Structure 1
Amino acid sequence: MINIYNIFKWVFLFSVLIFLIKYTSQNRLSKKFKIDYIEIKTKEKRFLTSEDILKYINTSPHFDISQLNDFNIKELENVLDLHPGINNAEVYTHQNGNIGVLVNQKKAIVRIKTETDDFYLDEYGQKMKLCKNYFPELLVATGKINDTHHKEIFDFVCLLRKSSFWNAQISQIYFSDDDIFLIPIVGDHKINIGNFDNISLKLENLYHFYNKAISYKGWQTYSDINLKFNNQIVCTKR
């Protein structure tokens, strides 16, 4: 008799537990959450605001904010990752059941402008759309650029950024039909590098030329400096 009683007791307790789990799950699923906290991480000037992110979520065709609950926060993270100014996003729930959002703002390092396109490359070499309220002072690559050039442009800009001198000196990369030209900030001349092969050596040679020749003859002496030939610098006087 005692065994039967114990069996009924455990069956009853188990049934209650199943009911509570099911009720809690249904209740959490039906509960509508709200975003009550947004944090934006960045190493540079912030161009994203909490209002921008909320507006982006509210107007996204990929997510219905009215159906937000703690079972679909991964979907919200995926939507935020589509934002042109967000590198990655993390969405989490608070103890009160509301939603917090943590986003890492993207950082552009070069702008690419062609006749048909205009965009940035971010610090990871990925394409980044132009963003409202974001106007960084960056090196600009122009001319006859296609997708195959993006990697070498990114690598070259990363090389420049390692040097305080070159990072401050080069303002533009121009792709012609045959050669690549650099446009400096100081000095009224064009620098023909041909291509990016042996670019570190070309920059080193140009640096020595600046120190030994330009500093003596003046920054306005030459109109063109050609580095495309191995270990040679060919200059054209204006």
Structure 2
Amino acid sequence: MKKYFNWANIRLVLIVLLLAFLYAFTTKRNENRKLCNTTVEFQDGEQLFITHEMVNKLLIENKRDVSSIRKVALDLNNLENTINQHEMVEKAEVFVSIDGHLKAVVKQKTPVARIFEGSGSYYVDYKGTRMPLSAIHTARVPLVSGGVDNKNKEDLYELFRMIHDDEFLKKNIIGIQVLPSGSLIMKNRNFNYDINFGKTINMEKKFKNYKAFFQKAVQDSSIYNYRIINLKFTQQVVCTK
């Protein structure tokens, strides 16, 4: 009895074996490959509170020569976690290319206020977490004094975000004093008057009233005559000379 070979199946098996061999070969070769360089990229092009060198040091785990690190020895998740634990970093992504190029894309925290407490100070970032001062950059954010505690901090953080997100307020409000009563006194960058904001209620309406007042008062130059701008009453702005 004659036996017939299915050459199509044999060719398929050979192709599968060849692909498996090539995959194992390239995987082994890739594992033994060493890193050639590292790159640190700051999201949005910003490089403010930390430097490329700081992040790069975390990437290569304090080794001096990047070419001494094998790709197989890399734990990308661990590297990401290490960078994310830095007090200036909001989020980091780390990946390595086939040719051994290690790259980190870093998004830094965004400070929205600087809180003065006792003899020191610290930043609060956009998400409401504490952030230390940086030795290489000072953020232009409102300086906040007075009592910031667990009772009022969430409302204050919302206020800080509102100021940060509004170009006019961001440029003009430079200081906030929190009074024991919970009321706020704000300082304007270019004028000497105090802004009596009241408590952290109806905040959007109060800021809307203030911007409308400011635009009119600048146009007729009456803004130079006022000592206090009272925003506590949401139906009107009361000015004291």
Relative to 1, partners in 2 of residues 1:151 and 1:68: Cα closer, same or farther, differing over 3 Å? farther
TM-score by length of 2: 0.69
Relative to 1, partners in 2 of residues 1:128 and 1:226: Cα closer, same or farther, differing over 3 Å? same
Q: Does residue 75 of the first structure (1) align with residue 78 of the second (2)?
A: yes
Deviations 1:147-190 (A, max 9, x none): 45443333223333454332322111111111211111132121
For residue 52 of structure 2, the aligned residue among 50, 69, 78 is 50
Structure 1 segments (4+ residues) deviating >6 Å: 20-32, 65-68
* Stretch of structure 1 that moved more, 140-149 or 73-82: 140-149
Task: Report the counterpart of residue 93 of structure 2 in structure 1.
Answer: 90
For residue 156 of structure 2, the aligned residue among 153, 157, 172 is 153
Give the whole-Å Cα distance in 1 for the aligned partners of 2:223 and 2:97: 64
Identity of aligned residues (%): 22
TM-score by length of 1: 0.70
Measure how far apart 1:106 and its partner are: 3.1
Question: Contact conserved, 1:42 with 1:105, CA < 8 A, in 2?
Answer: no
* Stretch of structure 1 that moved more, 176-185 or 28-37: 28-37
Question: Contact conserved, 1:181 with 1:191, CA < 8 A, in 2?
Answer: yes
Question: Contact conserved, 1:191 with 1:227, CA < 8 A, in 2?
Answer: yes
Task: Report the counterpart of residue 123 of structure 2 in structure 1.
Answer: 119
Give the whole-Å Cα distance in 1 for the aligned partners of 2:55 and 2:32: 24
Relative to 1, partners in 2 of residues 1:212 and 1:106: Cα closer, same or farther, differing over 3 Å? closer
How many residue pairs get aligned? The number is 230
For residue 41 of structure 2, the aligned residue among 39, 42, 46 is 39
Measure how far apart 1:141 and its partner are: 2.1
Summarize the alignment of residues 122-137 of structure 1 with structure 2, pairs less than 5 Å apart. 122=126, 124-137=127-140
Give the whole-Å Cα distance in 2 for the aligned partners of 1:22 and 1:145: 60
DSSP-derived class of the 1:196 partner: coil
DSSP-derived class of the 2:198 partner: coil
Relative to 1, partners in 2 of residues 1:68 and 1:151: Cα closer, same or farther, differing over 3 Å? farther
DSSP-derived class of the 2:224 partner: coil
Question: Contact conserved, 2:34 with 2:71, CA < 8 A, in 1?
Answer: yes
Measure how far apart 1:135 and its partner are: 1.7
Task: Report the counterpart of residue 199 of structure 2 in structure 1.
Answer: 195
DSSP-derived class of the 1:177 partner: coil
Measure how far apart 1:207 and its partner are: 3.4
Relative to 1, partners in 2 of residues 1:231 and 1:77: Cα closer, same or farther, differing over 3 Å? same
Give the whole-Å Cα distance in 2 for the aligned partners of 1:99 and 1:216: 58
